[in-house]
Structure 1
């Protein structure tokens, strides 16, 4: 019997274990950290052997195939040992794709992928399609393949997930943009990160679709390098010769495969970045054959994504906005660009090789103060202190919220848009955003 070992027992790992077990494999799960109770219950329900807080090498190195959590870097000693002995290492998404004939709508990009994924899922669901939401959001794809029977999956894919995907095929691949992110995982080599993102189009055929932002300089430069087989569906903010979707005279227009138009002011999401998200989602729904009526309705009543430019409260005339999902500099750029008042910006965390030059002009133009939230804020001080703005260091979210509240004047905005990963002070970006909302509401 083929032995499959899953490294990491979070959402993706526990789901992969269930699918492996139901497919008849000898299955074992190992996690170097403590496993959450809900995942222990799931693993026990399927009689899957597991261990936590350790990796027992004799139980792992004998695997025929490894399914690796996207959070485990290739540089981890155990991964190096497995690679040295030639053990295949794949992702949960790659594994799940072997056991379903559902159509795959896959979204990646440095920014906007969660909103776009959620929006596409909302349109499909509203139109009555039998659809699952998976990847970086939603339930594990593998678990859904094991327990459900969907016709479509809408999947948000990080570069880490794409790294260990080889034969998986996206019927509709959406690439929102590529800006520097996670360079610490890619040897601080931007091309390595770009190559990871472009893995979303591998295995596509002429029957498939590649939807992408036509104004992204990196995507444009890379297009000819990858031997793309799929039909191209480029979108842009304004009409260009090659774009099939754009905005003209305050109207969202999609030319292919079926002509579609909608007044821009009817879109539920506002801001330039959300215009791109709406265009990409509209094209994807159009490609799936969803009627114009359903696309229009869903684009106009979508509620948005938690921790992404989420309005929290107005306290004594000061607006508080939670953009905790802004874990890179480009994402913060979009957030600042959408601000219409002077803003106190809370930023900082685990630096991933960030270059803050991209937001320098907007910080000078829009910000009235800065709160640095992190264990080590030296890089932030080095870059921003010369701007002449008031700054405060905070080592907890409570302190950051209180400092920003004192700094902000009536009519201004306090924006949490950290530019960084959250792991120095928080479990994840959700924990960071949830704490922000909690302490804002306690003001």
Structure 2
């Protein structure tokens, strides 16, 4: 679809502005519309490119005349403007779908309810250290479309959310990774886990026998979904519970990664991996299989796995004060992420949690809370559901309404050898701009103790 016709971009965030930049470069007449307020940074970027845009509204006359619409992943298909576009038969696609048309780079696409940011960053880190010409995009970092417009990478590691998958049609992953499927964002999927699972399985859409699909053989929902959708690609499972023929498995604290292409890679989970905790064994296995399939050297993979630094706000060690460890896991915005965090800490815990509850089911946390958590500090405007869920499991549940207050009270409740863990299991929008703001305020509060 070269250089003619009008393309409208809905949403002027990182992905929208990147898509606008690429569409303009390819000769389209581009218009950007955002129903919210466009930040100064993105306004300036659009003005610099001389791309017309509107903020805080969707003017139908300027949108319904597009030959194609690229929408932000955050806009649901039920939004009035999307329904009108669909009724008129105007194609609505994602930034990822659009940008892929203009690059021949190999696509390594990583999805899952939890761990996708860490796994994407780790995979990118290994590939870059091995000397590959690789970009990182999708749900993380700089817009994919903006990079396609200005860079010339041979590979992309893309972190892909279910919302992005919903708007992908012809796009194909050369290597697809599905880490896990657990309840998240169910408000977008008629509150049905099978709808959300079907969305995640779109990661293997359009794959052929020449492509690769890597998945967790221990994840119940993934196995259920695979009964309905049969991958055409070559499959590599990973497991910490059983041996697999080709893929990755855990035996006596050693990860074994084996593909038909080359010699086996073994790594000790105790001494070779920078990332600790059971969930990170899975993340490391997934990244390791990608690296082995790209025929990278074992020494390179092992070295990268050992010197990797994790993402900010994901089990990030903040400080040790009076023998108490403070960990910022503000990115844990669902119950499953908090389960992983609790599972990875081996001391008594003072848990800071709360915020905007997305209809959470806290039952899965009960065993870990009973065995590890000595007190819960609620950080949010309405903490009733946390009290109801855990009042029989911990002796102390306290309400706080700022990061300062939460950090101070948690510090007083903890003793030498304990861990204060911010892992909210909830969205942050009641008291903070986003999870980054929540994490940054917590870190600042800890440093003031």
| Alignment TM class, shorter chain as reference | over 0.9
Equivalent of residue 280 in structure 2, options 274, 285, 289: 274
Say whether the 8 Å CA contact 1:236–1:245 is kept in structure 2: yes
Task: Give how far 1:341 is off.
Answer: 1.3
Give structure 2 stretches of 5+ with no counterpart: none
Task: Give how far 1:242 is off.
Answer: 5.1
Aligned to 1:255: 258
Equivalent of residue 106 in structure 1, options 93, 104, 109: 109
Say whether the 8 Å CA contact 1:322–1:433 is kept in structure 2: yes
Task: Give how far 1:85 is off.
Answer: 2.1
Q: Which runs of 4+ in 1 moved over 3 A?
A: none
Does 1:19 pair with 2:22?
Answer: yes
Task: Give how far 1:64 is off.
Answer: 1.6
Task: Give how far 1:195 is off.
Answer: 0.6
Aligned to 1:122: 125
Aligned to 2:352: 346
Aligned to 2:171: 168
1:117-150 Cα deviation digits (max 9, x unpaired): 0000000000111000001111100000001100
Aligned to 1:210: 213
Give structure 1 stretches of 5+ with no counterpart: none
Say whether the 8 Å CA contact 1:182–1:353 is kept in structure 2: no
Does 1:421 pair with 2:427?
Answer: yes
Does 1:376 pair with 2:410?
Answer: no
Q: Judge which range, 129-138 or 428-437, deviates more.
A: 428-437
Does 1:329 pair with 2:335?
Answer: yes
Equivalent of residue 391 in structure 1, options 397, 415, 423: 397
Over the aligned positions, Cα root-mean-square deviation in angstroms equals: 1.3
Aligned to 1:314: 320
What is the aligned residue count? 443
In structure 1, C-alpha distance between the alignment counterparts of 2:295 and 2:99, rounded to whole Å: 25
In structure 1, C-alpha distance between the alignment counterparts of 2:84 and 2:429, rounded to whole Å: 27
Aligned to 1:365: 371
> Compared with structure 1, are the counterparts of its residues 408 and 38 closer, same or farther at alpha carbon in structure 2 (3 Å cutoff)?
same
Taking structure 1 as the reference length, what is the TM-score of the superposition? 0.97
Task: Give how far 1:21 is off.
Answer: 0.5
Say whether the 8 Å CA contact 2:111–2:179 is kept in structure 1: yes
Residues 54-203 of structure 1 correspond to what in structure 2 (within 5 A)? 54-203=57-206
Matched residue SS, 2:391: helix
In structure 2, C-alpha distance between the alignment counterparts of 1:224 and 1:325, rounded to whole Å: 31
